[in-house]
Structure 1
Amino acid sequence: MNDTADVPETSSAPEAEGPASHQGGLAKLAVGAVGVVFGDIGTSPIYAFRETFAGHHQLIPDPLHIYGVLSLIFWSMMIVVTFKYVAVIMRADNKGEGGSLALLALINRKGEGSKKRWTAGIVLLGVFATALFYGDSMITPAISVLSAVEGLTTVQSGFEPFVVPIAIAILIGLFTIQARGTAMVGAMFGPIMLVYFLTISVLGVVYVAGSPGVILQTLNPWNAVQFFLEDGWRAFLALGSVVLAVTGAEALYADMGHFGRKPIGVSWLFFVMPALMLNYMGQGAMILSMDLAAAQEVVRNPFFFLAPEIMRLPLVILATLATVIASQAVISGAFSVTQQAIQLGFMPRLRISHTSAHAAGQIYIPVINWLLMVMVILLVLFFQNSSNLAAAYGIAVTGAMFIDTCLLSVVLFSLWRWKTWIAVPVLAIFFAVDLGYFSANLTKVPDGGWFPLLVGLVAFTLLTTWARGRQLMISRMREASMPVEIFIKSAAKSATRVPGTAVFMTTSPDGVPHALLHNLKHNKVLHERVMLLTVSIEDVPFVEEDRRFDLLDLGAGFYRLIIRFGFMQESNVPAALARVESCGPQFKMMDTSFFLARQTLLASGARPGMALWREKLFSWMLRNAESAMEFFKLPPNRVVELGSQVEI
């Protein structure tokens, strides 16, 4: 890690339109949202209804349980997705961007000076939600693709031994193409998902038309209440499977920056939710039309049995395509979350490739991609089928939803300042639902729920260790820094000046960079123009051009420059320097040298800081971080690195 300036600073700039102020009509954006945003929740009918009956708690497929489950699914969608995310949380955007980290940055920025006692806890909650997301991004591709391929067994039971190999082959192919970008594939997402949603709607309508009463039974909340009154413990356990119907709800918020709140809301209310509920009701009506023995057999895979036998194989292929799209959305989300975490100072710098010249959000992070692929394949091999994976699925999702509600409570009281009589009932409903789902999923910890908790714990440890270690390292470096005014007075006249420009990158907006001191000590020269450069990653997604630069003339050819980027922007330093004026001639890379200080960390328990094992962990992360040269897009033949040692 180099002594570079990627420390986020708080900004008090006014809100501006983010990328969600998109070009294009509402209908076009709504179709695009169907393809990208709703892949995860859209594929849930493949396994969610099945798991409530054929999962680990084995419900009897009779009217009490079927109507109870259908009612729970409908009202879960209304409360969690429609009311909580679409109507409320998606209004809390950070210049158009959504997601736990964007919301965390918004709270820290907007809430500056108020409720400071909450800050540490809020940050930890936001970071833990991010950590849980990585567990979700591993399980989603595994369970989605595996559940779709398992549909082959409804075509021909002899396919069962080939399910796991076929699923692994599809997943390997999916992760392999990530490096090529999603622009071409993304153009196909919308149409494929439109066909998928229309297909599952038609399949559901066929059975609903034969039993229209199922609609009223589904919409009637008393059926859910009666389920709990007559079979309370099984109803509670069923919540752990019912929540699978709303997995992906958090993706609506996270992907808001790509499409905007209104197109996502329109797609959900007028197309996606009706399609999903028609399919769920169709599955219920189909099972109710059978005798108990047949129902218990069909309930093992009701989604595929909705189709006539001749159409079952095409449905398996279409469902597999839909699950690949759902997996693609989660993988892309993992890349975006990682980029935000890096820019906000919670992760070390990693190599990020931009796969599109037009869409800034299309990125590829090799380390994350291959790590996800390995973990997803291991999950498929270890759990073997989607029912076993379903036990691991709910923990990460319900945990993230609960944390979103906690962060929302801060927004309602501190930022939006809702009246107590409105905010408290709203939050009470959200917390009751979230806690019900989360506690039901805790019962699945021994059966696989331990996996996302383990992944979340590991990711949380890495994120917090990196953030704390950077703070300590920067603090130690500032302790030994020299005031820049004294340095200029003593060195500017005595040192030999050579032609050209020297850019010294530093995390601190004051003091003399270590690289400058070392360069003068060893080379005994100063360039005609010396630029002390700090790159500041702000806690807003995008920084307006009029706030991009802060330039201060220090005299004697010395300048201090702060370049600001948003946490969704690429930190391209040469491109930014080309737009800098009022400090001499325009920057030309062939006349500019970049000096970086590479720190070697000395872990020591002698000084107060972190536990020794965390210092060693931070040191390992430091050694494996991408160099500032690559991260800031500096020309390799114009970079000089000077080493130093830091003890924390």
Structure 2
Amino acid sequence: MDTTTHEPAAGNRKRLALLTLGAIGVVYGDIGTSPLYAFREALAQCADDGITRGEILGVLSLALWALIIVVTVKYVLFLSRADNNGEGGVLSLMALARRATQGKWPIVVVLGAMGAALFFGDAIITPALSVLSAVEGLRTVPGFQQVMTSPVVLMLTAAILIGLFAIQSRGTASVASLFGPVCAVWFVTLAGLGVWHIMDAPKVLLAFNPLYAVDFLAGHGVAGLFVLGAVFLTVTGAEALIADMGHFGRLPIQIGWLSFVWPALSLNYLGQGALALSGQRAAEAAGQPFANADWFFLMAPDSLRAPLVILATLATIIASQAVITGAYSLTQQAIALGLLPRLTIRQTSAAQIGQIYIPLVNWLLLLGVLILVGTFRSSSAMAAAYGIAVTGTMVVTTCLAFIIVWRAWGWTIELAVLFIAPFLIIDLIFFGANILRVAEGGWVPLMVASAMALIIFTWMRGRRTALRRSGENGVAMEEVAKALSRHPPVLVDGVAVFLTSDTAYAPSALLHNLKHNKALHRTNLILAVRTAEAPHIVPGKRLEVQRIDEHFVRATLHYGYMDVIDVPSDLGREEGLLAQRGGTSFFVGRNAIRRASRPVLPGWMTMLYAFLHRNSADPVVWFNIPANRVVELGSQVEL
């Protein structure tokens, strides 16, 4: 009796502990490396006329309350509950909001596209900044100051980043088990260093008083906004808390943050503040000016500095890996939701569906990362570029959350506004503070996000226009079926599957086949593949079938935006559909985009859409259809 009662609970506790450890390794890698540079960069914004005790406590208070309000309250306690069947992230929120508004609010898609575009701007900065800041720590190791010149630091950083991106095609399943333990050691180290130095200046605990943050902002004017923009570096990576919910679940992420990560980060920032207070007091006693420094690495004694740099480098590699895989997942979702053209996606693990590799995204990210490292050449110069993309994404997330609590959760609009407004005001303040740093480097994520937004907009508008033009020139499927029943062509054995985007009209491949081969299969399946606004669709509920007549069947396959598409397998679940004499052939239409004599799109947009369409992934591979069973027939669409 006791065994059956307690064993499941023990098993659940063990599974929860493993998921929490995994979340610590993947979800918190980005925000966990912020202590390397966040406090230093925030303090640097008020260092021109010397750093005072009040400024140290004010900056530290801003950092601590940013962690409390933005990460703990907004993301961990609130947004983690706004999930789409367990999945989180900006596109999952978009899908949930679009479902709640029945797809009638274009602003929902606009917000989702903006969030996705801004994420890619963030994705090239995180690896560059985090790895570069860790390698720069070698300069604090005794005996390395002269050796670690700027070219050496840049070369070592580039070598680490190239190696990291080069191994992506092999998958991360073999090393992912190390992420959790390494990050656990990292956070224990953060907490230990913090506690050690808090003892040197216990007054640093006064920073928990929010009045220090308020007084600092009130007394520094515009300069305070620059500091606020740098303070935001403490919460970069918070989006990962909801983006990775599908992998670990809400509870492990909440437990990991509340019981382990948040205390470790807070203790480390307090330790850095205490070290700065001690340094400021000593400089004041000696009558010398107090200079800002690399506070994180100075917390470690000289003998442990080198091991700390190695551990920090490992932590930044893990943080970079989390962003890279996040870019793959976001791209996969964007493709499924129709925001981007199909790209080649490779599964890197037979056991985990989420383990994917997208070659084009990988090498474009690496190119962007290396350009950033070579252009800015230091983590301090690059830090200004970091906040805009993240704050922009947070504003988008909050706006989508408002739509969800109002339309999906059924709150009154007054209650929804009252609840969401404080979060949105804080996000907008942080966004405004970071906008001030556009000239210093903030233009980088904005440029990347603008390019991605242009691609998304062009693809969505071009695809919608192409579908409309095809429909204008199309023939209703019922009319074709009736005409063929009156004048039947030669019938051949087997099943023909015609892939189309609109089952109401006869696919161009069907019409071309009739025109040139003058033959018809005994069973013809007019098939559309749709992506639902849910992450997963149960395999048994994916297929909808409607018979038109004895030779034609209309069918729709529904997939979640995180499902792996396998058309033959899912069609095979319908008994008797494909199991016929003569086998099954798949007919795929290849549309060539041409500029019409009376264009419906601007010339540049038609050219860009044609380029994206021409270079999208092979639909045969995308739908997982065996190549030896495919017949391709081409047609033209004039835009």
TM-score exceeds 0.5: yes
Once residues 62 and 204 of structure 1 are traced to their aligned partners in structure 2, the CA distance between those partners, rounded to angstroms, is 21
Once residues 112 and 289 of structure 2 are traced to their aligned partners in structure 1, the CA distance between those partners, rounded to angstroms, is 42
**2:370 maps to amino acid:** I
Identify the match of residue 102 of structure 1 among 88, 92, 107. Answer: 92
Contact kept in structure 1, 2:46 and 2:227, CA below 8 Å: no
Identify the match of residue 131 of structure 2 among 140, 145, 155. Answer: 145
**Corresponding residue number in structure 2 for 1:579:** 573
**Corresponding residue number in structure 2 for 1:213:** 203
**Corresponding residue number in structure 2 for 1:285:** 274
Once residues 219 and 440 of structure 1 are traced to their aligned partners in structure 2, the CA distance between those partners, rounded to angstroms, is 22
Once residues 49 and 415 of structure 2 are traced to their aligned partners in structure 1, the CA distance between those partners, rounded to angstroms, is 38
CA change 1:323–1:56 in 2 (3 A) is farther
**1:129 maps to amino acid:** G
**Corresponding residue number in structure 1 for 2:449:** 456
Show structure 1 runs of 5+ residues with no match: 1-21
Task: Report the more deviating stretch, 137-146 or 92-101.
Answer: 92-101
Once residues 60 and 25 of structure 1 are traced to their aligned partners in structure 2, the CA distance between those partners, rounded to angstroms, is 51
Once residues 150 and 626 of structure 1 are traced to their aligned partners in structure 2, the CA distance between those partners, rounded to angstroms, is 40
Contact kept in structure 1, 2:51 and 2:291, CA below 8 Å: no
Q: How big is each residue's C-alpha offset from its partner over 1:221-253, in whole Å with a ceiling of 9 and x where there is no partner?
A: 011011123223322210111000000011111
Identify the match of residue 228 of structure 2 among 239, 253, 257. Answer: 239
**Corresponding residue number in structure 2 for 1:603:** 595
**Corresponding residue number in structure 2 for 1:592:** 584
Does 2:160 correspond to 1:170? yes
Contact kept in structure 1, 2:200 and 2:278, CA below 8 Å: no
Alignment of 1:157-556 (within 5 A): 157-158=145-146, 159-161=148-150, 162-215=152-205, 217-290=206-279, 291-292=282-283, 299-419=292-412, 422-492=415-485, 494-556=488-550
Contact kept in structure 2, 1:505 and 1:596, CA below 8 Å: yes
**Corresponding residue number in structure 2 for 1:7:** none
**Corresponding residue number in structure 2 for 1:615:** 606
Contact kept in structure 2, 1:97 and 1:257, CA below 8 Å: yes
Q: How big is each residue's C-alpha offset from its partner over 1:107-152, in whole Å with a ceiling of 9 and x where there is no partner?
A: 1112228xx4xx1122111101110100100000000000000000
Once residues 538 and 388 of structure 1 are traced to their aligned partners in structure 2, the CA distance between those partners, rounded to angstroms, is 43
Once residues 646 and 278 of structure 1 are traced to their aligned partners in structure 2, the CA distance between those partners, rounded to angstroms, is 61
| C-alpha deviation, 1:347, in angstroms | 0.7
**1:157 maps to amino acid:** Q
Contact kept in structure 2, 1:52 and 1:59, CA below 8 Å: no
CA change 1:574–1:546 in 2 (3 A) is closer
Contact kept in structure 2, 1:604 and 1:615, CA below 8 Å: no
Contact kept in structure 1, 2:179 and 2:318, CA below 8 Å: yes
Task: Report the more deviating stretch, 482-491 or 295-304.
Answer: 295-304
**Corresponding residue number in structure 1 for 2:3:** none
Once residues 232 and 264 of structure 2 are traced to their aligned partners in structure 1, the CA distance between those partners, rounded to angstroms, is 18
CA change 1:553–1:423 in 2 (3 A) is closer
| C-alpha deviation, 1:417, in angstroms | 3.0
**1:537 maps to amino acid:** T
The two structures have a TM-score, normalised by structure 2, of: 0.94
Contact kept in structure 2, 1:392 and 1:447, CA below 8 Å: yes
SS in 1 for 2:475: coil
CA change 1:131–1:509 in 2 (3 A) is same
Q: How big is each residue's C-alpha offset from its partner over 1:460-499, in whole Å with a ceiling of 9 and x where there is no partner?
A: 0100110111111111111222222222232245211112
| C-alpha deviation, 1:640, in angstroms | 1.1
SS in 2 for 1:349: coil
Contact kept in structure 2, 1:57 and 1:238, CA below 8 Å: no
SS in 2 for 1:350: coil
**1:126 maps to amino acid:** G
| C-alpha deviation, 1:63, in angstroms | 1.5
Contact kept in structure 2, 1:287 and 1:298, CA below 8 Å: no
**2:376 maps to amino acid:** F
| C-alpha deviation, 1:300, in angstroms | 2.3
**2:124 maps to amino acid:** M
CA change 1:210–1:419 in 2 (3 A) is farther
Once residues 623 and 378 of structure 2 are traced to their aligned partners in structure 1, the CA distance between those partners, rounded to angstroms, is 44
**1:34 maps to amino acid:** I
Contact kept in structure 1, 2:477 and 2:503, CA below 8 Å: no
Once residues 355 and 59 of structure 1 are traced to their aligned partners in structure 2, the CA distance between those partners, rounded to angstroms, is 54
Does 2:635 correspond to 1:635? no
Identify the match of residue 70 of structure 1 among 60, 64, 71. Answer: 60
Contact kept in structure 1, 2:496 and 2:521, CA below 8 Å: yes
**1:70 maps to amino acid:** L
Alignment of 1:78-157 (within 5 A): 78-112=68-102, 116=104, 119-155=105-141, 156-157=144-145
Q: How big is each residue's C-alpha offset from its partner over 1:83-105, in whole Å with a ceiling of 9 and x where there is no partner?
A: 11111112111111111111111
Once residues 70 and 56 of structure 1 are traced to their aligned partners in structure 2, the CA distance between those partners, rounded to angstroms, is 13
Contact kept in structure 2, 1:488 and 1:556, CA below 8 Å: no
Contact kept in structure 2, 1:101 and 1:126, CA below 8 Å: yes
Does 2:27 correspond to 1:37? yes
Once residues 586 and 203 of structure 1 are traced to their aligned partners in structure 2, the CA distance between those partners, rounded to angstroms, is 67
Once residues 137 and 436 of structure 1 are traced to their aligned partners in structure 2, the CA distance between those partners, rounded to angstroms, is 23
SS in 2 for 1:392: coil
Higher-RCO chain (CA-CA 8 Å, sequence separation at least 6): 1
**Corresponding residue number in structure 2 for 1:10:** none
Once residues 531 and 153 of structure 2 are traced to their aligned partners in structure 1, the CA distance between those partners, rounded to angstroms, is 46
Once residues 502 and 23 of structure 1 are traced to their aligned partners in structure 2, the CA distance between those partners, rounded to angstroms, is 52
CA change 1:112–1:23 in 2 (3 A) is farther
Once residues 467 and 157 of structure 1 are traced to their aligned partners in structure 2, the CA distance between those partners, rounded to angstroms, is 52
**1:395 maps to amino acid:** I
Q: How big is each residue's C-alpha offset from its partner over 1:295-349, in whole Å with a ceiling of 9 and x where there is no partner?
A: 9777321100000001000000000000000000000000000000111111111
CA change 1:420–1:554 in 2 (3 A) is closer
Once residues 133 and 291 of structure 2 are traced to their aligned partners in structure 1, the CA distance between those partners, rounded to angstroms, is 15
**1:305 maps to amino acid:** L
Task: Report the more deviating stretch, 483-492 or 613-622.
Answer: 483-492
| C-alpha deviation, 1:59, in angstroms | 7.1
Once residues 101 and 394 of structure 1 are traced to their aligned partners in structure 2, the CA distance between those partners, rounded to angstroms, is 20
Contact kept in structure 2, 1:538 and 1:567, CA below 8 Å: yes
**Corresponding residue number in structure 2 for 1:14:** none
Contact kept in structure 2, 1:43 and 1:322, CA below 8 Å: yes
Identity across the alignment (%): 47
Count of aligned positions? 619
CA change 1:613–1:625 in 2 (3 A) is same
**2:616 maps to amino acid:** A
SS in 1 for 2:564: coil
State the superposition RMSD in angstroms. Answer: 1.9
CA change 1:375–1:547 in 2 (3 A) is same
Q: How big is each residue's C-alpha offset from its partner over 1:254-296, in whole Å with a ceiling of 9 and x where there is no partner?
A: 1111111111111111100000010000001011112238997
Once residues 504 and 558 of structure 2 are traced to their aligned partners in structure 1, the CA distance between those partners, rounded to angstroms, is 16
CA change 1:605–1:137 in 2 (3 A) is farther
| C-alpha deviation, 1:402, in angstroms | 1.0
